[in-house]
Structure 1
Amino acid sequence: MFDVDRYLRTLGHAGPATATLETLTRLHRGHLEAIPYDNGHVAELDLDNIAVLDVDETFETVVCGRRGGICTQLNGMFRRLLAELGFETDLIAASTLFPGNVFGPPIEHMLVRVRLDGDDWLADVGFGGLSFVEPLRVCDEVQTQDGTDYQLVREGEYHVLRYRNRDADWRTSYRFVPKPRTVDEWEGAFDAMVGPDAPRGAVEPIIRRRRLVGDEQLTQTGKLCSTVRDGRERIAHAMVHRDEHERVVAAITAPANPGQDLSCKRKDQETMDVR
């Protein structure tokens, strides 16, 4: 059953939980550390509407069980937590930039907008790629977090989220219209992403997992793993060996323990910079 105190303990938050920017920042970073993004269980969702959740089951399995999930699960539950704590929130829909420089359907990714003291802040604890680890203020200024630059750029009606690692060019994550959405609007989103003619039982998305471990973001995409630390991105694995694959997956999905090294970079393995 959904329980605010259990949720806060899962995120490692022991202090006051008032509706302030400090609380939001701690919870946002704590969420990325405690609960991974993992699209490996998407078939368990209602594929007619991936935003319709069994709240209690999702809370037990995805949050407290730390199995992780996709954006609608992670940001949906996070939004529920923030609302319980007294934050003013809205759901926002975004479209991810895919290979070929093509954006996905307009209602695809789910974000949370939080309003605090007259400012709008963007929260996202459910993105499969490189993630801002603390809330972003909705403005056009460059905001630097853990060595990576983020910027929200206006392009017509859209806000476009860009990021830039050290010694690299700007790249685009997704774009969104800052319009409040309801859960019902995600109806058909899954079919729009995979194609209306794709047999659902045959759809096997490339496994994508992401987690923040200390000051390092780890991302698994199929047989590859990338790491970002202090704004420097490296391709750390081309996981062709089962043992290596299992070790990296464990690093992303295992619950964090103080003192445990969950980095996916091995001392005896060379890595290459991504420019």
Structure 2
Amino acid sequence: MFDVDTYLKHLGHTGTLDPTADNLRELHRRHMMTVPFDNSRNAAKGLAIWDDVDAGRDVFFQSLITEGRGGICHELSGLFRALLDELGYDVTVISSGVRGAGDQFGPDLEHMLSLVRLDGEEWLVDVGFAGPSFTEPVRISADVQSQNGFDYRVVTDGAHLVLERRPADGEWKAVYRFTLQERELSEWKAIASGENDDPFWHWAGEMIRAGTLIYGRVYETGQLLLVGRRYLRAEDGRDQARVLAKTDEYEAVVRHVLRQDV
């Protein structure tokens, strides 16, 4: 069963529990350092990954905290959102379309994340993104916000807001676009049932069914991401990528990302 004290102990959080911006940053960072992204249990499901989007916080807690496993976006975000709600934060579900090939964005329901309203400001909260992104919440503002040598900002593009990221030696690139519209979990259930026939979903489902495994975790000074055999280390404002051709090296990186070598 979901238990706040057990959850916080798992994250290693020992500070105050007041719903402040500082605590939000600390909880977000610790969550991403402790609970990895891991789609290995879901890689064969295709769009059926959304079948259990409404499984509830007790199910997610059992898997991610009690069993110490990693998860995918709706599991990670759903569990963290439950924690923030228990601690008194004003938190809602939103969605985004991720930038893909050719700088095109996927459908608005491609990814699940959260919005926190705090002290007159709005914050993007996302502990479940399978890509290099922020490790602490980002204010929804065009002001540049720096983390681990990378810059972030949120700009307006027509009806959407766009999260952008810039490495120390690079240019601004979109991560995903979103709106502040509050979403219902039933909208993702409709995708799993086939009611949403957006062709981008079929493409994404085929990629998942192809067996692409994705693992990711944050550490003190950066972020690790493994997509198939492509290994990305984002640290000190630089993205360093290479292909892990040797099986033993690949397996060692998987264990490291999943904290199985601790």
Give me the TM-score of the superposition, normalised by structure 2: 0.90
Q: What is the letter of the counterpart of residue 27 of structure 2?
A: L
Unaligned stretches of 5+ in structure 2? Answer: none
Equivalent residue, structure 1, for 2:216: 210
Equivalent residue, structure 2, for 1:39: 39
Equivalent residue, structure 2, for 1:26: 26
Secondary structure at the aligned position of 1:188 is classed as helix
1 CA distance for matches of 2:22 and 2:233?
A: 27
1 CA distance for matches of 2:228 and 2:25?
A: 30
Equivalent residue, structure 1, for 2:202: 195
Deviations 1:247-270 (A, max 9, x none): 11111001685xxxxxxxxxxxxx
Instruction: Verify the 8 A CA contact 1:50 1:189 in the aligned structure 2.
Output: no
Q: Which moved more, 1:203-212 or 1:120-129?
A: 203-212
Q: Which protein is richer in helix relative to its size?
A: 2
1:1-275 alignment runs, 5 A limit = 1-42=1-42, 43=44, 47=49, 49-189=51-191, 192=198, 193-195=200-202, 203-235=209-241, 237-254=242-259, 257=262
Question: Among the aligned pairs, what percent are the same residue?
Answer: 37
Distance change (3 Å), C-alpha of 1:5 and 1:206: same
Secondary structure at the aligned position of 1:57 is classed as helix
1:131 CA drift (Å)? 1.9
Distance change (3 Å), C-alpha of 1:38 and 1:197: closer
1:173 CA drift (Å)? 1.0
Instruction: Verify the 8 A CA contact 2:214 2:227 in the aligned structure 1.
Output: yes
Distance change (3 Å), C-alpha of 1:186 and 1:198: closer
1 CA distance for matches of 2:163 and 2:204?
A: 30
Secondary structure at the aligned position of 1:62 is classed as helix
2 CA distance for matches of 1:198 and 1:16?
A: 42
Report the number of matched residues. 255
Deviations 1:169-194 (A, max 9, x none): 22111100111111112123456554
Instruction: Verify the 8 A CA contact 1:153 1:162 in the aligned structure 2.
Output: yes
Give me the TM-score of the superposition, normalised by structure 1: 0.86
Distance change (3 Å), C-alpha of 1:199 and 1:141: closer
Secondary structure at the aligned position of 2:234 is classed as strand
1:166 CA drift (Å)? 1.3
Q: Which has the higher contact order (CA 8 A, sep 6+)?
A: 2
Instruction: Verify the 8 A CA contact 1:105 1:189 in the aligned structure 2.
Output: no
Q: Please, what is the CA RMSD of the aligned residues?
A: 2.3
2 CA distance for matches of 1:239 and 1:37?
A: 19
